[in-house]
């Protein structure tokens, strides 16, 4: 179902493919399709992941620019980079940005770019809370959740050759469509399991970096108290499991970790000082 | 005027947050599992919540004051409607532009499905994103300034 918009958008890219018409299916074509699927499932290299993420990030900052507050932007980069340093992908070119948007949301882009909105920043009260949210987004990058979803979408509609070209030829028509699809994915959301996994890993990453592990649950408590019909949270609620369910899952699976690292740093004062011009 | 005062003093209203227990929970004298239990609160008890300390929230409930496990609480009062729309769509009829910070009327702005569907690449904003990036050494110094120490914590199985 998720692949439908992409199917429509990319129908032109694969005019010769007739896999949707069973009567046209013959053995030769089937063999060809299987070969192509094999090519398309090739894991993108780290360079390809970073380049694809950069194209998606360019569109996201095209949709909403960065908040004009250099101090807050540098601050969020310091917190985020410190968190990323505690992970198995510390060598990615990590970049963090606060987007000028009142909606409450955050976005992880393949290759190590993470955005949060001004609307979400305004709902937080400490560096530990910011770390919990950034940790969740970093986890999406670590586990390549968006990259895999983009690949899956491309696979469903592009032939293997075209999907391969979209990765290697950055000026191709297929590339533009892939990047547009990758950007629109933030309107559709990931699988629920990916979000819940990112919550669990986000708690661990924040704890590793020395923060109060309850930062992320604390933000989820704040979001849970908001009206789901509020236009500020509508997209975030549509693309994520309900905050109450996320809290239940963290309680079930992460209570020992949460409690073992609950007395670590919160750093409210530093957070409020560094972000005050954006709040 | 009343409203203005309420807004001004909002941060001082320590007990302003209504919350509800989502399961039976022990109200503790101190924020610790081995602290004395003051009373047992059944599921769906309305409480007034104050500050959080670790995994605990200070609350007033049924005439007692103590600490409840944070994850046994949900904020907001289920008996009344949650707070309404924040009205951001109206507010953002006057949007801030990212580059100059000046106020210009550009129509409704922000980041929703429509903006994501119509997004065009912005090279100059991307260059700013690069400019603000921190390296690992800078981040480590920043962490040391905040007395943050790295810990070894395993991912869940």
- Of B61 and A161, the structure prediction assigns the larger pLDDT to B61
* Closest residue on chain A to B137 (Cα): A82
- At B39, phi and psi to the nearest 5? -145, 160
Per CATH, which fold does B16-86+93-131 belong to?
A: SH3 type barrels. (2.30.30)
At A117, the pLDDT band (50, 70, 90 cuts) reads very high
Q: Using the beta-carbon criterion (under 8 Å), do A68 and B113 form an inter-chain contact? A: no
* Closest residue on chain B to A262 (Cα): B54
pLDDT at B10 over 60: no
Instruction: Give the gap in angstroms from C-alpha A38 to the nearest C-alpha of chain B.
Output: 30
Nearest beta carbon to residue A210 from set B71, B126, B151: B151
Secondary structure of residue A122 in the 3-state scheme: coil
Q: What is the mean pLDDT of residues A75-84?
A: 98
User: DSSP labels for B1-37?
Assistant: -HHHHHHHTGGG-TT-EEEEESS-EEEESSSSTTSPE
Nearest beta carbon to residue B153 from set A85, A255, A261: A261
Best residue in B57, B153, B154, B157 to probe A by mutation, most A CBs within 10 Å?
Answer: B153
Here the ipTM equals 0.84
At A116, the pLDDT band (50, 70, 90 cuts) reads very high
Contacts 24+ apart (CB under 8 A), B126-130: B126/A54, B126/A57, B126/A58, B126/A61, B128/A61, B128/A66, B128/A73, B129/A57, B129/A61, B129/A66, B129/A95, B129/A97, B129/A113, B130/A95
Best CA proximity match to A79, nearest among A143, A144, A124: A124
Instruction: Calculate the average pLDDT of chain A.
Output: 87
**Cβ–Cβ under 8 Å, residues A34 and A160:** no
* Closest residue on chain A to B154 (Cα): A204
**Cβ–Cβ under 8 Å, residues A103 and A137:** no
> B42-80: b or e for each residue (b if 16 or more CB lie within 10 Å)?
eeebebebbebbbbbbbbebeeeebbbbbbbbbbbeeee
Among all chains, which residue has been given the structure tokens 């499905």? Answer: B113
- How is chain B split into domains, by residue range? 16-86+93-131
Q: What is the mean pLDDT of residues A53-73?
A: 97
- The 10s digit of each residue's pLDDT in B119-143 is 999 999 999 999 999 999 999 999 9
A:B CB pairs within 8 Å? 225
- The 10s digit of each residue's pLDDT in B23-41 is 999 999 999 999 999 999 9
Instruction: Calculate the average pLDDT of chain B.
Output: 80
Tell me what pLDDT residue A227 has.
Answer: 86
Tell me what pLDDT residue B84 has.
Answer: 53
Instruction: Give the gap in angstroms from C-alpha B96 to the nearest C-alpha of chain A.
Output: 8
């Amino acid at each position: 179902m998720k692949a439908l918009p992409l199917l429509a958008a990319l129908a032109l890219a694969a005019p010769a493919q007739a896999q949707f018409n069973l009567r046209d299916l013959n053995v030769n074509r089937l063999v060809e399709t299987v070969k192509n699927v094999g090519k398309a499932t090739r894991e993108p290299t780290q360079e390809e992941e970073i380049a694809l993420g950069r194209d998606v990030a360019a569109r996201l900052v095209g949709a909403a620019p960065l908040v004009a507050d250099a101090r807050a932007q540098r601050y969020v980069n310091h917190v985020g980079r410190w968190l990323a340093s505690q992970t198995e992908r510390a060598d990615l070119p990590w970049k963090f940005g606060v987007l000028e948007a009142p909606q409450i949301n955050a976005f992880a882009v393949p290759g190590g770019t993470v955005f949060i909105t001004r609307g979400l920043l305004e709902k937080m009260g400490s560096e530990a809370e910011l770390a919990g949210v950034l940790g969740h987004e970093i986890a999406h990058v670590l586990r390549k959740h968006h990259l895999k979803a983009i690949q899956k979408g491309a696979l469903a509609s592009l032939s293997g050759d075209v999907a391969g070209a979209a990765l290697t030829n950055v000026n191709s028509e297929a590339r533009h469509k892939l990047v547009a699809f990758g950007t629109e994915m933030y309107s559709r959301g990931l699988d629920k399991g990916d979000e819940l996994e990112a919550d669990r890993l986000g708690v661990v990453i924040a704890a590793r970096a020395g923060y109060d592990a309850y930062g992320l649950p604390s933000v989820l408590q704040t979001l849970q108290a908001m009206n789901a019909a509020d236009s500020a949270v509508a997209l975030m609620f549509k693309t994520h499991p309900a905050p109450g369910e996320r809290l239940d899952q963290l309680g079930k699976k992460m209570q020992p970790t949460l409690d073992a690292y609950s007395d670590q740093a919160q750093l409210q004062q530093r957070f409020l000082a560094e972000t005050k011009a954006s709040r | 005027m009343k409203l203005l005062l309420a807004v001004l003093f909002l941060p001082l209203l320590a007990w302003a947050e209504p919350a509800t227990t989502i399961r039976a929970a022990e109200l503790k004298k101190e924020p610790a599992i081995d602290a004395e239990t003051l009373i047992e609160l059944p599921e769906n008890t309305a409480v007034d919540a104050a500050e959080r300390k670790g995994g605990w929230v200070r609350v007033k409930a049924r005439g007692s004051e103590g600490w409840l496990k944070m994850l046994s609480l949900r904020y907001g009062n289920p008996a009344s409607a949650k707070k309404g729309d924040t009205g951001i769509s109206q507010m953002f009829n006057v949007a801030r532009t990212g580059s100059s910070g000046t106020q210009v009327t550009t129509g409704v702005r922000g980041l929703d499905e429509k903006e994501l569907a119509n997004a065009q690449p912005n090279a100059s904003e991307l260059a700013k994103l690069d400019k603000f990036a921190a390296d690992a050494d800078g981040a480590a110094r920043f962490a040391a300034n905040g007395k943050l120490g790295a810990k070894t914590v395993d991912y869940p199985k």
